[in-house]
Amino acid sequence: MNDIYILGIESSCDDTSAAVLRNGVLLSNVTASQDVHKAYGGVVPELASRAHQQNVVPVVDQALKRANIEKEQLSAIAFTRGPGLMGSLLVGVSFAKGLARSLEIPLLDVNHLQGHVMAHFIKESDDDNTAPPLPFLCLLVSGGNSQIVKVNAYNDMQVLGQTIDDAAGEAIDKCSKVMGLGYPGGPIIDRLARQGNPEAYKFSEPNIPGLDYSFSGLKTSFLYNLRDWVKEDPDFVEHHKEDLAASLEHTIVNILMKKLRLAVKQTGIKHVALAGGVSANNGLRNAFHDNAERYGWTIYIPKFSYTTDNAAMIGITGYCKYLDRDFCSIDKPAFSKVTFK
């Protein structure tokens, strides 16, 4: 049998990424991040699409070089079709379509959220066997999403619960911004939280039925409390940033884990995975380990480089679709709205 080479392309937000896989094993994964947004405290869509335009050719070129293959050897191109920022998506989608057409090879459209979950199936070598057994539960937490997903198969994922307003990462980033700590707030809050007292401050926790999440109340309660404290002491943030970060992280992790425990209880599934950018968070990882020990879960946490946006997860999803001959026609447009379909 001929080797199957898949090129994966990811451009849904502010990372331009390309990866090459041979027979489902990762050969290269190259990502160009965009520092331009730091000055604005969040991703500026217009600047993101411009940066993708500049990055996409060199990133794909590097991915092919590191994989040590020529583009003519590719079997198919997998690309993120959505959800994400439309201007960002259009760059990767158009590039993938143009390259596939010129090479006369098939296209594989990948849902970005499905890709995050599929990060668990990325193989760095033939004998890499760390993927969770099916079915498993996956807590998907990123800057744009917070969901509990039941994974029955790579192409059968059921959203059991999701945020009705802000995502967990978005709440962390916004609270970090109001403290004047910089962007993205996640890694900064994580670092500060390690030196603070998680019980120092209490912030409001939502009371939402079922397995859905809500983080906007917490964000508002953080903002109002901070405003009052700063009125009394203008240097309040500087004096208490470690305790503020630790208490904020503690509240968010509590909210996430409470619903996840409920999902385990309701489904009886004890194979539990973590995915998305927020899964880099040390407090959340520790809580995962604690719950695993206490409740007998088997847990799966991907390597850091596969938790944030990357093309390896798009490539592996595309490879599964390739084996099923589930190709995408060139007229399928990008989509921005959150869906698992």
| Feature table: binding site | 112, 116, 140-144, 173, 186, 190, 281, 309
CB atoms within 10 A of CB 326: 13
Side-chain half-sphere of 62: how many Cα atoms within 13 Å?
14
Site membership for ligand KG4, residue 106 (CB under 6 A)? no
> Mask 252-281, x = binds ligand KG4 (CB under 6 A)?
------------------------xxx-xx
Nearer to ligand KG4, 99 or 280 (CB): 280
CA nearest neighbour of 169 among 271, 276, 66: 276
Span 63-82, contacts to ligand KG4 by CB under 6 A: none
Site membership for ligand KG4, residue 308 (CB under 6 A)? yes
- 3-class SS of residue 202: coil
Q: Which residues are annotated as a binding site for substrate?
A: 140-144, 173, 186, 190, 281
9, 13, 85, 312: which one binds ligand KG4 (CB under 6 A): 13
Length of the chain: 341
Site membership for ligand KG4, residue 24 (CB under 6 A)? no
Q: What's the CA dihedral at 312, 316, 322, 328 to 10 degrees?
A: -60
| Strands, sheet with 5-10, edge to edge from the N-terminal-most edge strand | 25-33, 15-22, 5-10, 76-82, 107-111
Q: How far apart are CA 172 and CA 215, in angstroms?
A: 9
CA nearest neighbour of 117 among 317, 258, 321: 317
- 231: its two tokens: 């009125």
CA nearest neighbour of 99 among 69, 66, 67, 77: 77
Q: How near is the Cβ of 77 to ligand KG4 at its closest, in Å? A: 21
- The pair phi, psi for residue 194, each rounded to 5°, is -65, -20
Site membership for ligand KG4, residue 287 (CB under 6 A)? no
Span 118-157, contacts to ligand KG4 by CB under 6 A: 142-144
42, 45, 135, 187: which one binds ligand KG4 (CB under 6 A): 187
Q: How near is the Cβ of 49 to ligand KG4 at its closest, in Å? A: 16
> Mask 154-183, x = binds ligand KG4 (CB under 6 A)?
---------------x--xx----------
Q: How near is the Cβ of 307 to ligand KG4 at its closest, in Å? A: 7
CB 159 within 8 A of CB 176: no
Site membership for ligand KG4, residue 110 (CB under 6 A)? no
- Residues near ligand KG4 (CB under 6 A) are 13, 142-144, 169, 172-173, 184-187, 190, 276-278, 280-281, 308-309
